[in-house]
Structure 1
Amino acid sequence: MELNFKQIIKSTLSDTIIKQIFEMISQGDIVPGQKLPSERDLAEALSVSRPSIREAMRSLRTLGLIDIRIGDGTYLKDDIEKLSDFRIKNLLKKYSILELTEARKLLEVEIATLAAERATEEHKDLIKESFYNTLRHKHDPEAFLKADFEYHMAIAEAAHNKYLAEMLYTTRDLIIDGYQEVVKIPGQDDIIKKCHFYIMNAVISGNKEEARRVMQYHLEDMISAIHKIYNNTN
């Protein structure tokens, strides 16, 4: 069966890809158990890059909606009830950014500790590269937050625990959308960058205790900044 995809405007790639796939599911164009087109075919049909397709597939896999079978392809899960898991993302968007940051603290303090213990030289180079990339976006909150997230993901990958990395990845859109006001607080971006610098040094030097301490301080400082916003708006 030939699938009729619409071409995508390149401003909201990953979310738009996911949305279109779900529209096709709801219309019966894609059914549980069906094999999806290849990454290359999807990219061509949607007029987007293959990395954008990978990002969308990663989100769908995290939500438990697809099976990626090495050497075979990507399939929509057989269990139709699993489709209700897509509600997870919508429910998460209702959570306050404060609750998200509290959850991040529980998750990322452990990630930083493991990264300091397990990071390879390749991962250390990636962490440094992503750190310096954050410094290029001082006056663009959205670009800064995207770079900020890539920095945190680089540390998560260095922890060598795929479940922790996937858990953090599911918060990507929430962080980029929800932290816009936080980074606009005067001086907050400088505090974030200083924390990033010390976390990076701790991970690279293999200092687990320092990596844990600074990551905890970093996210507790973010919680304090969020409280300031709430106090000013309530």
Structure 2
Amino acid sequence: MSTLQPRPLKSSDWVIQDLTRKIEDNILLAGERLPSVVDLALQYQVGRSTIREALSSLKAMGMLDIRQGSGTYVKEKPTQHQHPAQLYPDAWVSRAKSLKHILEVRRVLESGCASLAANNRTEQDIVRLGNILREMENMLDDEMISEQADVQFHEAIAHATHNPVLSDLMSSLSQQFHDSMKDSRALWFYAERSSAERLLREHQNIYDAIAGSDGKRAQELMDQHIAKVERVLDDHQSASSSLQNDAE
């Protein structure tokens, strides 16, 4: 089984990325049974625990169906974007609480970073942001790489402030931001009922404001970008609470 470019982050992410690509490219078809954990571990040259972690993540993403005693099968692609609560029904309450806290931090921190970056950015910063945007555009059909580019874009904005404290703060929160990005993107897609192209345009608009040294506009766009996910999260939590109260 062929593999992709250099491994991102950790081995399980690398396996997830490769299997996702095969499913999206119809190399692995809906209903097809995957090789056993033992065989996949040999093919990817990783431990069995890494394969199990990757398969569990893909199951949570709605891409695989793990049947006890039967094997792991590729699921039919959903016809519309799903709310993360549908993907993680058992774990969503704790995930939503954590995501809420992270979004509050991001909204305060990144809106300020966008404004400062518009005032302090260099041409090198603009080139870097532009390269990340091009990667997003070229890899729209690869959610794993798009997600990583999304994180890189926000980190690059912090770097463009040329404030080492802000840059270090964003770096220290990078893993938490990355862990929450999947839920953030899922909520964004769910709210928009749209595609990755729409999300790319939001990033492009933020880039244009920074490139044009329009700090106020960059701050407003970044605030709106993150606030949208917060609103969807709050709306769903309110609806869930109402249903629970009705049941009681």
TM bin, normalised by shorter chain, reads: 0.5 to 0.7
Q: CA deviation at 1:135?
A: 2.0
Matched, 1:192 2:199: yes
Q: How does 1:63-78 map to 2 (within 5 A)?
A: none
How high is the TM-score relative to the length of structure 1?
0.55
How high is the TM-score relative to the length of structure 2?
0.52
Q: CA deviation at 1:200?
A: 0.3
Matched, 1:201 2:203: no
Correspondence for 1:99: 101
Letter in 2 for 1:179: M
Correspondence for 2:159: 157
Correspondence for 1:173: 175
* CA separation of 1:99 and 1:211: change in aligned 2, threshold 3 A: same
SS in 1 for 2:114: helix
C-alpha distance in 2 between matches for 1:107 and 1:150? 15
**What's the RMSD between the two structures over aligned residues?**
2.7
Q: Could you give the per-residue CA deviations for residues 33-55 of structure 1, whole angstroms, max 9, x where no partner exists?
A: xxxxxxxxxxxxxxxxxxxxxxx
**Amino-acid identity (%):** 20
Are the aligned partners of 1:182 and 1:225 in contact in 2 as well (CA < 8 Å)? no
C-alpha distance in 1 between matches for 2:235 and 2:137? 24
Are the aligned partners of 1:127 and 1:154 in contact in 2 as well (CA < 8 Å)? yes
Q: CA deviation at 1:95?
A: 6.0
Q: CA deviation at 1:153?
A: 1.2
Q: How does 1:21-170 map to 2 (within 5 A)?
A: 96-170=98-172
Q: CA deviation at 1:224?
A: 1.9
Q: Could you give the per-residue CA deviations for residues 167-218 of structure 1, whole angstroms, max 9, x where no partner exists?
A: 1122322232223233233426444322211110010011111111111111
Structure 2 unaligned runs (5+)? 1-6, 12-94, 242-248
Alignment counterpart, residue 211 of structure 1, candidates 218, 228, 231: 218
Are the aligned partners of 1:142 and 1:176 in contact in 2 as well (CA < 8 Å)? no
C-alpha distance in 2 between matches for 1:131 and 1:11? 18
* CA separation of 1:151 and 1:215: change in aligned 2, threshold 3 A: same
* CA separation of 1:191 and 1:11: change in aligned 2, threshold 3 A: closer
Aligned length: 148
C-alpha distance in 1 between matches for 2:150 and 2:240? 25
Structure 1 unaligned runs (5+)? 1-9, 15-92
Correspondence for 1:43: none
C-alpha distance in 1 between matches for 2:234 and 2:194? 16
C-alpha distance in 2 between matches for 1:164 and 1:148? 18
Q: Could you give the per-residue CA deviations for residues 98-136 of structure 1, whole angstroms, max 9, x where no partner exists?
A: 110111111011111111101111111111111121223
C-alpha distance in 2 between matches for 1:173 and 1:229? 25
C-alpha distance in 2 between matches for 1:168 and 1:142? 21
SS in 2 for 1:96: helix
Letter in 2 for 1:209: K
Letter in 1 for 2:204: F
* CA separation of 1:140 and 1:128: change in aligned 2, threshold 3 A: same
* CA separation of 1:223 and 1:190: change in aligned 2, threshold 3 A: farther
Q: Could you give the per-residue CA deviations for residues 39-81 of structure 1, whole angstroms, max 9, x where no partner exists?
A: xxxxxxxxxxxxxxxxxxxxxxxxxxxxxxxxxxxxxxxxxxx
* CA separation of 1:136 and 1:152: change in aligned 2, threshold 3 A: same
Q: CA deviation at 1:144?
A: 1.6
Are the aligned partners of 1:145 and 1:175 in contact in 2 as well (CA < 8 Å)? no
* CA separation of 1:117 and 1:196: change in aligned 2, threshold 3 A: same
Correspondence for 1:225: 232
